[in-house]
Amino acid sequence: MLGLNKKDTGLFIFVICVTALAPFIMNPFPADSAMAQFNAGYPDLMQRFVIFGIFAIGFNILFGLTGYLSFGHAAFLGAGSYAAVWMFKLLSYNIVPAIILSVIVAGLFSVIIGFISLRRSGIYFSILTLAFAQMSFAMAYSVLTPLTNGETGLQVYNDDPQWLKGDGPDATHFFGLEMRSTFELDLGAWSFSFNVGYYFCAVLMLVAFYLSMRIFRSPFGLMLRAIKTNQTRLNYTGLNSRPYTLAAFVISGMYAGLAGGLMASMDPLAGAERMQWTASGEVVLMTILGGAGTLLGPLLGAGFIKYFENIFSKINESVLHGWFGFLPDGIENGLIWVAEHFVGSGWHLTLGLLFMLIVIFLPGGLMEGATRIRDRFSGDKNKKDTEGKYAPAGE
Amino acid sequence: MDAILLQILNGLDKGSAYALIALGLTLIFGTLGVVNFAHGALFMIGAFCAVTLQKILTISSVSIDPEKKDFLGNPMEVKTPYVESWFGEATGQLIINWSVPLAILFAIPVMLAVGYIMERGLIKHFYKRPHADQILVTFGLAIVIQEIVKHYYGANPIPTPAPDALRGSFDFGVLLGFDPNAVIYPLWRLVYFAFSALVIGGVFAFLQFTTFGMVVRAGMADRETVGLLGINIDRRFTLTFGIAAAVAGLAGVMYTPINSPNYHMGMDFLVLSFVVVVVGGMGSLPGAVLAGFLLGILESFAAMNEVKSFFEAIYLPSIDQIIIYLVAIIVLLTRPRGLMGRRGVMEE
Amino acid sequence: MGILEVQNVNKSFGGLKALQNVNLNVEEGTIHAIIGPNGAGKSTLLNCFVGKLLPDTGAVTFDGHSLLGKKPHEINQIGVSRVFQTPEIFADLSVFENVMIPCFAKRDGAFELNALARVQGQSDIRDKAEQMLIDVNMIDKRDMIASSMSRGDKRRLEMAMCLAQDPKLLLLDEPTAGMARADTNNTIELLAQIQDKRHITMAVIEHDMHVVFSLAQKISVLAQGTVIVEDLPENIKGHPKVQEAYLGTAH
Amino acid sequence: MTLIKPTRRGVIQAGALAGAGIAMPTILTAESHAGYRNAPQGSSVTLGFNVPQSGPYADEGADELRAYELAVEHLNGEGDGGMMNTFMANGSKAALKGNGILGKKVEFVTGDTQTKSDAARASAKSMIEKDGAIMITGGSSSGVAVAVQGLCQEAGVIFMAGLTHSNDTTGKDKKANGFRHFFNGYMSAAALAPVLEKMYGKDRKAYHLTADYTWGWTQQESIAAATEAKGWETVKNVLTPLATTDFSSYVAPVLNSGADVLVLNHYGGNMVNSLTSAVQFGLRDKQVNGKNFEIVVPLYSRLMARGAGENVKGIFGSTNWHWSLQDEASKAFVKSFGTKYGFPPSQAAHTCYVQTLLYANAAETAGTFNPCGIAEVLEGLQFDGMGNGPTEYRADDHQCFKDVLVVKGKDNPTSEFDLLEVVEVTPRAQVEYAPDHPMFAGGDLGQCNPGA
């Protein structure tokens, strides 16, 4: 189906189902129960899952396939966001021109940075991309303030021209369909939110995911994997690796731009921190954590990190009291004392520990965990391929 | 002229910190082949060794002084450090006053131990893993260390002053024949530079003149061969890591009077020190030191008003914000392996 | 006129003269061996053919094109393939993928953005790659990951990859170095077969005299950076200059 | 079926879903009746406390959180009531009864802004969308405050700003749903300038080091204008990158520039480091132009100033509030905070506590949680007994006007909290400005948005 083989079609259908049903899957606990704290099925976080999913899928096309580790991809995310907000300021809140421009701007930006940085490889390449991104961040925060609105972040003001707005909506929309409109479904004790913005992002994420599958299975993808394993042989095979790596760099830059444009479309404000090295580092972590070079891994990694950032950081002492309240006081206080180090302001600690545990016990990232679980259940221990990573293209 | 001299001094000072951190980073990379994102955290642990010693020295006996009132109007608790009651007030205060230099003695065993535990407990298992995994695990470790420090010491900077005797400033210019007051420089910063030079010299001498150093250098040049020589490379790796940790830690201890330490100071230095290492050339110790001082000095020059306005005139405003990265790009484009890097190291 | 011509090539590193006035002429359709003691400049010369080194003076032309200043992939695109001392293959990919890549390079040139085509859909490439694997007797290993094979198999795979491009000239850098006798003989047989079937010109740098004399139709002897003799194998065997170069002048 | 945003399309889609045969009880909730977002259901109301819990301002965030918890306790009738006992609104005792707000028990959710606009907005959004927070408050930087204020305007909830000092928050970035109790750069400058003139004289040459982002610029602009009006000359203004940790290169040229005062327009970690560098370079021991060289820090944060240790001694600055104030309200607040936590509250804690009480009182007075109703009460509200003397929430820009404290680093501190002494309480009239003052121009409050 769609030019995919049977296994990939199955995977794609699986991903479609999960994204379509995400509002149910993410909200497994009744809204008023103590466990509701762990529910992630509210619009903003679901949007973030898929947007950062796009970012990580794109990054994986570069890093997972070619092995070139860019530490500056946040620059493209930021550039995309700024471009999108400018379209809101100048034209209207319609997100179509904004997203198109953000992809184009990020693409052009990545052509320039990629062309220069790809003259080097290995850590030299990483540092070049880092340097470009940090320069972009520093300038966006200060001297480029007329373009970026600096510390505050670029946003739409009432006196912006918005030439095409007319009497259109005052919020970001897709030809009148407002991104923020949500409807809630109450089923017994459960409550589920269906948000237009989420589904819009989800559709684009599915397109992005589909494209990345096609790239993985294409001759181009094969060449990129060849670059990762042996560039010398590739050159002596008559192939010029530079255009291939540049193409991969620009494609992943455009994915980042798309993610940036979508972020601005869901929430029309673009802050300079989006370009900082920590943001670039985050997508690197997402990809490695999920499993670099696998199709699904980056999505998992993105979801994992965003979940911790948004859910664990919000668990505070009074929530803990709610959970452990039924226990005798001594035990309750002891448990809370232990637990509060890992939640709320301690969420970073949990994340750091999980990074370590995952990389120690699951060298292939979360995807390896998923594969192991699947193999355990199917009882097939000989199956070594991790979801297409080493699947021979010939089958 | 005096302004330039001042900035050179500033540059050497910043460069000292960069060079010390980069030295350990490149030592770990060159011998162990590990990309250590937790190296900034080691620097931070060093700084908090100074804080901890200061805390230990000021452990106090508490008595109530009914004369004084605290902020709630209750009788105030008066604390007398045990050191003062044991050694007499004057000596006690002197010891507390000198807590930062004393912390060097405290930090060396602590850092060696931290290095030993890190290497044996974690890093060892990652020698053969891809760099990406090393980055993930050391970054995770850095976060964990940071959070632990934050839990005990809070997020705000903690003042750790230099001893009174070294706190003032010093008319450096008079020595060189400038007018008085032209080149005034803080004493402690001069101490920091001298100390760094000593540590750097010590590390180089150690690597140059000991058998251990020879093995390490040979290992940096060709890891596989050294492994084949039947030398117990494991123990040496551990010690190398310990030395790198100690160097970063000492840099941290002595840095505390310059800037009050806080829990995220390691991350602030992490990216910069990677840039320094790469500009110097992966796997080159002299390169790391050279690049550290070079970037420090250039950064200081870029902060000069004259330089800033010059670059503004050629449409490069805020040159001081981007100078390090700009220099890194220029160096890497003109010298593919940094200033003194070798072919084939970390290029895959 | 040879297909590969080397004229008056000089190359020095610092004060050391690695190549001095080297002249060489490889005839089309022959196997030409370049031998010489260690440090004679064999590898330097080879590197001048493939764009890795630029000679100080002199000319290297292949089939009418100058090879100087060209990048490796450009040299390959005009018909020169290279086999390395230690097999350079795509270790993380399957054997079949390894062979498909040169097939793509042959068909599409140095760069082609086939991002939405499917590898599976390229029947011409797949057929050709399959044929190549049959030719080198490796079709049963097509799905193995290349890094998991024996050294002899890796060499075979590398040969298959080179042949998949139908090169006009095949450069071989000590193709049997570090191989067991049986593997060496296999390789000799394979090379002979290829020569038989396809009439590809080969330039072989080799240490092993057994290999050289089993294969070469012409031999150049390199010593201290210059070609001292270029002749047919039977004339090389007893040549005094060659003995001198290998054994020294002591007797 | 509940419609959070009953836009036309939402209804159509919801209808379609129901039509598809999914059986469910169709209940239209109070929301649509109430006509505003997140109308509290049941017996409780949820407030969102969005403070930095990681990053450089984590300690300030932690102190804000303590103040919020205290405020919630007091609102719910627990503890000693703190400033609820002294709070006077529009001349009469505040409407708060100690039974929650409008009879609903106050609950709260917390989040981590990380001092990043994106993270702060994400956290605020989750409070609004997931937890049904009716009001968002907190923060420790102007970038975050402006970003979250914008979000609350769009989402239709009230934003009660925490620590934010940039002129822009109630200047060009002001929003109808946003309210700021904290003072701003202009007020700091207006309060400081007369004191500086009195202490250091009219004929002074000032050298400015300014953090290179919007807050720094507005602060510098304000203080330069105010001191120049008093006869000072601004010799030079040097912008320093935000990420600077070692200010030596910026401090070194100061002594030979001909200036005799150094103004550090830095906050937080920047301020600690630049001040430490300046003192290290011996600036304070020197004489220039025949006068003692002086250093000024326009905005003090006591929490952060501790990091600079002895270097703050004798240095002037301004602050929104200080625990050593002796009015009844401040004493009551310090007592309940200090008893609960064992140390005095910071100015960040104070402003957050006050904002929460102000919000609660406004809801109580308005008789609704509708943001528009609350905004109506807050606009032009005159109140007292909150530690700053008589204060007004100006309707034009939602900025509080009150006295400003000029403080000085204490020479002989008696405890680790006793860092600053109040030198002067600059009366409100001196720090007031017109709503269309050029430093605040360009903004537009817009319409209050109830979110439904």
pLDDT of B30-66, one tens digit each?
888 889 999 999 999 999 999 999 999 999 888 888 8
Structure tokens at C237: 């065997």
CB-CB: which of A143, A356, A360 is closest to B317?
Answer: A143
Structural domains of chain D in order of their starting residue, each with its CATH number: 1-35 (no CATH), 44-183+323-402 (3.40.50.2300), 186-319 (3.40.50.2300)
Say if A80 is an interface residue toward chain D (CB within 8 Å).
no
Hey, are the CB atoms on A229 and C92 less than 8 Å from each other?
yes
Q: Mutation target for B interface from D248, D260, D412: give the one with most B CBs within 10 A.
A: D248
pLDDT exceeds 70 at position A395: no
Helices of type H across A142-240:
145-148, 196-216, 219-229, 231-235
For β-strands C65-66 and B184-186, DSSP reports them as unpaired
CA distance D258 to D274: 19
Strand locations in D88-181, DSSP E?
88-89, 92-93, 105-112, 135-138, 158-161, 178-179
Asked whether C242 and C228 are in contact (CB, 8 A), the reply is yes
CA distance A367 to A56: 14
Could you give the CA distance from residue B269 to residue B36 in angstroms, rounded to a whole number?
13
Residue with tokens 């409008």: D102
Contact A310 D122 (CB under 8 A): yes
pLDDT at position C239 is 82
- Tell which residue, D200, D83, D135, D214, has the closest CA to residue D378: D135
B103-150 pLDDT, tens per residue? 999 999 999 999 999 999 999 899 888 888 898 899 999 999 999 999
- Nearest residue to A58 (alpha-carbon basis) of A212, A210, A199, A202: A212
CA distance B214 to B220: 10
Joined together, the tokens standing for residue C161 give 């990859």
Q: Is A353 in contact with B321 (Cβ distance < 8 A)?
A: no
- Rounded to whole angstroms, the Cα distance separating C157 from B190 reads 63
Q: Between residues A343 and A55, which one has the greater pLDDT?
A: A55
Q: Which of residues 219-258 of D touch B (CB under 8 A)?
A: 236, 238-241, 243, 245-246, 248-250, 252-253, 255-256
Give ipTM to 2 decimals. Answer: 0.90
A30: exposed, middle or buried (C-beta count within 10 Å: 0-12, 13-18, 19+)?
Answer: middle
| Contact criterion met (CB below 8 Å) for C34 and C220 | yes
Distance in angstroms (rounded) separating the CA atoms of residues A331 and A353: 25
Q: Which residue of B has its CA nearest to D286?
A: B181
Model confidence over C178-226: pLDDT tens digits? Answer: 778 888 888 888 888 888 888 889 999 887 888 888 888 999 988 888 8
What's the pLDDT at C198? 83
Give the residue from chain D lying closest to A40, CA to CA: D130
Whether residues B275 and A131 touch (CB distance < 8 A) is answered with yes
User: What are residue C132's phi and psi, to 5 degrees?
Assistant: -60, -45
pLDDT at A185 over 70: yes
Chain A CB within 8 Å of residue C94 CB: yes
Q: What pLDDT, on the 0 to 100 scale, is given for residue D8? A: 36
Chains that touch B (3 or more CB pairs under 8 A): A, D
**Per-residue pLDDT, A1:** 63
Q: How far apart are CA C213 and CA C215, in angstroms?
A: 5
Instruction: State residue A387's pLDDT score.
Output: 41
CA gap B161, D169 in Å, rounded: 37
DSSP class per residue in C151-204: HHHHHHHHHHHHHTT--SEEEEESTTTT--HHHHHHHHHHHHHHHHHH--EEEE
Closest CA–CA distance from residue B168 to any residue of chain D (Å): 7
Cβ separation A310–D126 shorter than 8 A: yes
**N- to C-terminal Cα distance for chain A?**
16
Euclidean distance between CA atoms D316 and D200, whole angstroms: 11
User: Encoding tokens for residue B334?
Assistant: 């003109």
Residue C245 binned pLDDT confidence (cut-offs 50, 70, 90): confident
Q: Inspect the interface and report whether the beta carbons of A247 and C91 lie closer than 8 Å.
A: no
Least confident segment among A224-233, B78-87, D130-139, D174-183: B78-87
User: Are residues B318 and D272, on separate chains, in Cβ contact within 8 Å?
Assistant: no
* CA pair distance A98, C166, nearest whole angstrom: 50
Which among C55, C38, C4 is positioned nearest to C174, based on CA atoms? Answer: C38
Q: Does D432 touch chain B (CB under 8 A)?
A: no
Report which of residues A65 and D214 the model is more confident about.
A65
Question: Do B10 and D249 count as a contact with CB atoms less than 8 A apart?
Answer: yes
Contact A220 C115 (CB under 8 A): yes
Q: B328 and A111 in contact (C-beta within 8 Å)?
A: no
Mention every residue, 6+ apart, whose C-beta is less than 8 A from residue A142: A150, B318, B321, D212, D213, D239, D241, D242
A359 touches chain B (CB under 8 A): yes
Q: At which residue do the structure tokens 């106090």 appear?
A: B60
Tokens of C52: 């890795």
Contacts A389 to C, Cβ<8 Å: none
Question: How many angstroms separate the CA atoms of C240 and C229, rounded?
Answer: 10
Per-residue pLDDT at B224: 66
Q: Residue C65 above 90 pLDDT?
A: no
| 3+ Cβ–Cβ pairs closer than 8 Å linking C and D | no
Query: Are D419 and D378 a contacting pair, CB within 8 Å?
Result: no
CA–CA dist C146, C161 (Å, integer): 12
Minimum mean pLDDT among A8-12, A31-35, B217-221, C105-109: which range? B217-221
Q: How far apart are CA A181 and CA A179, in angstroms?
A: 6
| Record: contact A220-C113, CB cut-off 8 A | yes
- Closest by CA to D240, choosing from B321, B249, B244, is B321
A389 has a pLDDT exceeding 50: no
Residues of B in contact with A120 (CB under 8 A): 332-333, 336
D238 touches chain A (CB under 8 A): no
* Every domain of chain A and the residues it spans: 43-276
Per CB-CB distance under 8 Å, the chain D contacts of B167 are 280
Note whether D58 contacts B70, CB cutoff 8 Å.
Answer: no
**Interchain contact, B329 vs A128, CB within 8 Å:** yes
Write out chain A residues lying below 8 Å of B317, CB-based.
Answer: 143
Chain A touched by D175 (CB under 8 Å): no
Report the alpha-carbon distance of residue A323 to residue A38 in Å, rounded.
Answer: 12
What pLDDT was estimated at residue B231? 66
Would the CB atoms of C143 and A214 count as touching at under 8 Å? Answer: no
Q: How far apart are CA B285 and CA B201, in angstroms?
A: 12
Tell me whether residues A225 and C92 touch, CB distance under 8 A. Answer: yes
**A2 burial level (CB within 10 Å; 0-12, 13-18, 19+):** exposed
Interface of B with D in 27-66 (CB under 8 A): none
- CB atoms C71 and A225 under 8 Å: no
Hey, are the CB atoms on B142 and A352 less than 8 Å from each other?
yes
All residues of chain D having their beta carbon less than 8 Å from the beta carbon of residue B275 are none
Query: CA-based Rg of chain C, rounded to a whole angstrom?
Result: 19
Residue C52 contacts A where some CB pair is shorter than 8 Å: no
Bridge partner residues of D265 (DSSP): D210
Span of B282-296, C224-238, D239-253 with lowest mean pLDDT: C224-238
Q: Which residues on A lie below 8 Å from C96 (Cβ)?
A: 392-394
pLDDT surpassing 90 at residue C242: no
Give the number of beta-carbon pairs within 8 Å between A and B. 127
Provide the pLDDT for residue D123: 94
The predicted pLDDT at position B345 comes to 61
> Among residues 144-163 of chain D, which lie with CB inside 8 Å of chain A?
146-147, 150-151, 154
Chain C: touching chains (3 or more CB pairs < 8 Å): A
Q: Does D244 touch chain A (CB under 8 A)?
A: no
Bridge partners for C62 per DSSP: C4, C65
Long-range own/partner contacts, residues B172-178 (CB < 8 A, 24 or more apart): B172/B5, B172/B9, B173/B2, B173/B5, B176/B5, B178/B1, B178/B2, B178/B5
Encode chain D (452 residues) as per-residue pLDDT tens digits: 344 443 433 333 443 444 333 333 333 333 445 789 999 988 999 999 999 998 888 899 999 999 999 999 999 999 898 999 999 999 888 889 899 999 999 999 999 998 888 899 999 999 999 999 999 999 989 999 999 999 999 899 999 999 999 999 999 899 999 999 999 999 999 999 999 999 999 999 999 999 988 899 999 999 999 999 999 999 999 999 888 889 999 999 898 888 999 999 999 889 999 999 999 998 888 888 889 999 999 999 888 888 888 899 999 999 999 999 999 999 999 999 999 999 999 999 999 999 999 999 999 999 999 999 999 999 999 999 999 999 999 999 999 999 999 999 999 888 888 899 999 999 999 999 999 999 998 888 989 999 87
* SS3 state of residue C9: strand
pLDDT value at position B230?
64
By CB atoms closer than 10 A (0-12, 13-18, 19+), residue B306 is exposed
How far apart CA B222 and CA D116 sit, in angstroms, is 45
**Paired tokens of C165:** 């491009």
- Rounded Cα–Cα distance for residues C192 and C177 (Å): 17
Let me know the angle formed at the C-alpha of D62 by D61 and D63, rounded to the nearest 5 degrees. 90
CA gap C118, A5 in Å, rounded: 10
CB C3 within 8 A of CB C26: yes
Contact D167, D184 (CB under 8 A): yes
Q: Does B75 score more than 90 pLDDT? A: no
Q: Do B155 and D236 touch (CB under 8 A)?
A: no
Which top CATH class is C1-79+167-251?
alpha beta
Give the span between the Cα atoms of C41 and C224, in whole angstroms: 7
Crossing angle of the two packed helices A241-266 and A43-66, in degrees rounded to 10: 180
The first and second tokens of residue B163, run together, are 């001893």
Crossing angle for the helix pair B89-97 and B99-121, nearest 10 degrees? 50
Tracing tokens 């054997």 back to the chain, one arrives at: C95
Burial of A38 per CB tally in 10 Å (0-12, 13-18, 19+)? middle
> Degrees (nearest 5) of the Cα angle D35, D40, D46?
130
| DSSP class of A238 | T
Mean pLDDT of chain A: 89
Q: Could you tell me if A221 and A73 are in contact, meaning their C-beta atoms sit under 8 angstroms apart?
A: no
Alpha helix ranges (H) inside chain B: 2-27, 39-57, 82-87, 89-97, 99-121, 131-153, 172-175, 187-209, 211-221, 223-228, 233-255, 265-280, 285-302, 305-313, 319-334
Reference A346, options D138, B40, D62; nearest CA is D62
Interface membership of D265 toward A (CB under 8 Å): no
Question: Measured between CB atoms, does D269 come within 8 Å of chain B?
Answer: yes
Cite the residue boundaries of each domain of chain C with CATH code 3.40.50.300.
1-79+167-251
More confident residue, C129 or A319: C129
Alpha carbons within 13 A on the beta-carbon side of B4: 2
Subunit contact D307:B262, Cβ cutoff 8 A: yes
- Calculate how close chain A gets to C87, using CA atoms only, in Å: 9
User: Any residues with CB less than 8 A from the CB of A15 and at least 6 apart, and which?
Assistant: A206, A209, A296, A299
Contact across the interface for A392 and C143, Cβ inside 8 Å:
yes
The reply to whether B44 touches chain A by the CB within 8 Å rule is no
Size of interface A-D (CB pairs under 8 A): 151
Whether chain D has a CB inside 8 Å of the CB on A318: the answer is yes
B121 shares contact with chain A (CB less than 8 Å)? no
Question: Inter-chain contact A45–D13, Cβ cutoff 8 Å?
Answer: no
